[in-house]
Amino acid sequence: MTENKEESSCDGQCSSCPSAANCNDPQKAASGIQSKVQMNVKNVILVLSGKGGVGKSTVATNLAMALSNKGYNTGLADLDIHGPNIPKMLGIEDQKLGSYDGKTIEPVKVSGKLGVVSMAFLLPDTSSPVVWRGAMKNTAIKQFLEDVNWGELDYLVVDLPPGTGDEALSVAQLAPNIAGAVIVTTPQDVAILDSSKSVKFIEKLGLKVLGIIENMSGLVCPHCGDVIDLFGRGGGEKAAKELNVPYLGSIPIDPDMRIAGDEGKPFILKRDGSEQNKVTWQHVDEVMENILKQIDN
């Protein structure tokens, strides 16, 4: 035991170590750290942001829908426990999670290729708050990963709450085969600052940063056609270069994208409409393709 301690740089604080789930140090066995859950999934994609209101759930929803439309068996885990929005964005907020055998949880099916789990499916109504401490959230996350009948998945997209707290750390320690993380930001400095923290958080966990997406990057005026930089422009690309991580592209502000989310119809499915709508769709599609390229690299 003494020899192992000399060879290890671990300080023995396994419960606070972000890399504990991937660690083989002998002293971890007595630490209580949970091992990776058993899931039949090839790639887990984490979607996170440093702050709220940047369109993270919109990106996660459209990414999962894009993957399923390409024929991949896809799961979408809404792990924003306190603010679950994915069901609303997919138009399935009136659904509930069920079980055929009383043991495993059946995800809500959006299509034959896409299943969803969310805390929203367990609440009595959409205005009910989730008043939980960290331990209860961690238990729910483990159940959403391990006790759900996901089947054989090519991809599991995980929508995380803003920041680098319990939920993100729990998923990083529990989920198998994490392909990497997508960081969503808006162009202004305060959002870039927080997204930089997310990048460093993922790197500290020993995971791959798939790249940064700059969302809400410019608005095309519907009257004159000029581009209005409401939140600035280029901050996401600049941050990616400074942090030496891939830049996945930009997505402009488009009122149709907001309407699509409110109506439960993912924007990725809409290819017609105004010229601005078509331009936005091209940006979204390019971003989704760039994510897949980073996974394959």
* Interval 257-269: pLDDT, tens: 888 888 888 877 7
Domain ranges of the chain: 35-296
In tens, the pLDDT along 143-193 reads: 999 999 999 999 999 999 998 888 999 999 999 999 999 999 988 887 788
Annotated binding site for ATP: 50-57
The average pLDDT across 215-220 equals: 82
Higher pLDDT, 29 or 219: 219
Cβ contacts of residue 154 below 8 Å, gap of 6+? 41, 42, 43, 67, 72, 73, 74
* 240: confidence class by pLDDT, cuts 50, 70, 90: very high
Lowest mean pLDDT among 115-124, 166-175, 191-200: 191-200
Annotated binding site: 50-57
CATH code: domain 35-296 is 3.40.50.300
Asked if the model's pLDDT at residue 26 lies above 60, the reply is no
* Predicted local distance difference test score (pLDDT) of residue 60: 94
In tens, the pLDDT along 64-92 reads: 999 999 999 999 999 999 999 999 999 99
* Predicted local distance difference test score (pLDDT) of residue 113: 95
Average pLDDT, the chain: 85
